[in-house]
Amino acid sequence: MSAHGNTYVPKSGIAKWFESRLPLVGLVHSSFVAFPVPRNLNYFWTFGAILIAFLGIQIITGVWLAMHYQPSATEAFDSVEHIMRDVNYGWLLRYAHANGASMFFVAVYVHIFRNLYYGSYKAPREVLYILGVVIYLLMMATAFLGYTLPWGQMSFWGATVITNILAAIPVVGDTIQSLLWGGYSVGNPTVNRFFSLHFLLPWMIAGVVVLHVWALHVTGQNNPAGIPIKSSKDAVPFTPYATVKDVFATVVFMILFAWFIFYQPNYLGHADNYIPANPAVTPAHIVPEWYFLPFYAILRAVPSKLGGVILMFSAVIILALAPWLDTSRVRSSNYRPIYRQFFWVFVGVCFLLGWLGAKPPEGGYVIAAQICTAYYFAHFLIVMPLCGLFETPTKLPGSILESVTGPGKQVSGAGMPAGAAAAPTTKG
């Protein structure tokens, strides 16, 4: 699978001179031009590119917002309103950044569920997958820190609730809390350091993304059939096939993004965050951003503070164990009739947890959240190990090509060209 060598041949004198000193163009060529891509990839495989686009959008809009933002408890709220009212296109930068975070999470959830459905986490892609979980954790931390910066009521109370969650950690909890606060409570030093960390973490995400893409290019991509590339006919070159498909999907996704920015810029936010932070009054109904709701429901499902905190973190950490909890060697759920049904129940439970996370923690909502939390963990700890042992998978196609054309048929298409000379890009 990693059999793609460096097929780049520099033509001009300058290109040869540079390539012999730093083979950068060759690296890009082998990774993003000649790289063999399974020919049966569907549109769910374009979300990696969409995620990279959003990382870029968040970093660029964020750096521009930082030119106008004041990270202090007395000025933060006013400086955000200053961005909205006085700065040229400040409203656009801020709405793009705020809704960009939500779109980032939409894309990452599609990416994660795609991974779970098609078994992309299984050998040999465990490291690639765990790096993805690390990116997801960093995204959550970054999103939380960013949400505190406007210093409205939800910002302040979100920061208070989350730092109090960390204080539940035995022994070191209070020290961690004090180091995060920089004081005796959430206040000016807190917003200042949260701004610094919010600026730092995206670059760490970018670093792990490089490792994630590197690991992807070592193992190659999984695909809807879940079987490896066996011959050049199973693959097509990354450029133009995957490049154009990725760009097309990204553009379509941007329509959704633009709709939110221009028509519903505050739909995913909370009105309470337009009230300046007030440490004496908690908003009547305090909920996190939508992308944290399932975890918030898990936190509140347990009547014990430490227990809820442990379960909430476990809900993310358990994702990283999936490669070893799943005992089936068949990757794609397309060929797993029993597991496929459990998978969709799991998706339903995740949505239900999200809905419950937005409800007040009382009566039937708590009981429903407890049942859903139990099922969430059961999916990983019971369904994944047992399904693999007892399920009979349906017959896998002989090759990726066969999964596209049907068994026994020949294909006239080129598939993977033998050398760089055959790369379609050179023909314009």
Partner 1 sequence: MANTTAAAPAGAAPQEGTRRDFLFLATGAGLAVGAGAVAWPFVSSMAPDAATIAAGAPIEVDLSPISDGQIINVFWRGKLIFVRKLTGKEITDMKAVPLADLADKATFDSRVKSGHDQWLVVYGNCTHLGCVPIGHQGNYEGWACPCHGSQFDAVGRVRRGPAPINLPIPPYAFQSDTKLRIGEEGGKAAA
Distance CA 221, CA 125 (A): 9
Element (DSSP H or E) covering residue 38: strand 36-38
Spell 320-358 as b/e; 16+ CB within 10 A means b.
Answer: bbbbebbebebbbbbbbebbeebbeebeebbebbbebbe
Asked if 165 interacts with partner 1 (CB under 8 A), we say: yes
Asked if 174 interacts with partner 1 (CB under 8 A), we say: no
Among residues 2, 42, 185, 341, which is the contact residue for partner 1, using CB under 8 A? 185
Interface region with partner 1, contact rule CB under 8 A, candidates 6-14, 20-28, 52-60, 157-165 = 157-165
- Do the bridges between strand 36-38 and strand 235-237 make them parallel or antiparallel, or are there none, so unpaired? antiparallel
Asked if 2 interacts with partner 1 (CB under 8 A), we say: no
Asked if 308 interacts with partner 1 (CB under 8 A), we say: yes
Is 97 annotated for ligand binding? Answer: yes
Smaller CB distance to partner 1: residue 198 or 336? Answer: 198
Among residues 152, 226, 269, 283, which is the contact residue for partner 1, using CB under 8 A? 283
Asked if 53 interacts with partner 1 (CB under 8 A), we say: no
Site string for partner 1, 186-215 (x = CB under 8 A): xx-x---x----------------------
Asked if 183 interacts with partner 1 (CB under 8 A), we say: yes
Is 217 annotated for ligand binding? Answer: yes
Torsion 393-395-401-406 (CA) sign: negative
Smaller CB distance to partner 1: residue 182 or 276? Answer: 182
DSSP letter for each residue of 374-420: HHHHHIIIIIHHHHHHH--PPPPPSSHHHHHH-TT----S--S-SSG
Is 68 annotated for ligand binding? Answer: no
Shortest distance in whole angstroms from residue 183 CB to partner 1: 5
**8 Å CB contact between 322 and 381:** no
Which of helix, strand or coil describes residue 237? strand
Distance CA 343, CA 73 (A): 45
Shortest distance in whole angstroms from residue 192 CB to partner 1: 11
Element (DSSP H or E) covering residue 36: strand 36-38
Is 285 annotated for ligand binding? Answer: no
Is 82 annotated for ligand binding? Answer: no
Nearest to 296 by CA among 353, 367, 375, 350: 353
Q: What is the CA radius of gyration of the chain?
A: 24
Q: Tell me, by CB under 8 A, how many residues bind partner 1.
A: 34
Which of helix, strand or coil describes residue 281? coil
Asked if 282 interacts with partner 1 (CB under 8 A), we say: yes
Smaller CB distance to partner 1: residue 178 or 327? Answer: 178
Asked if 245 interacts with partner 1 (CB under 8 A), we say: no
Binding site as annotated, residues for heme b: 97, 111, 198, 212
Binding site as annotated, residues for a ubiquinone: 217
Q: Which residues lie near partner 1 (CB under 8 A)?
A: 157, 160-161, 163-165, 178-187, 189, 193, 279-286, 300, 303-305, 308, 360-362
Binding site as annotated, residues: 97, 111, 198, 212, 217
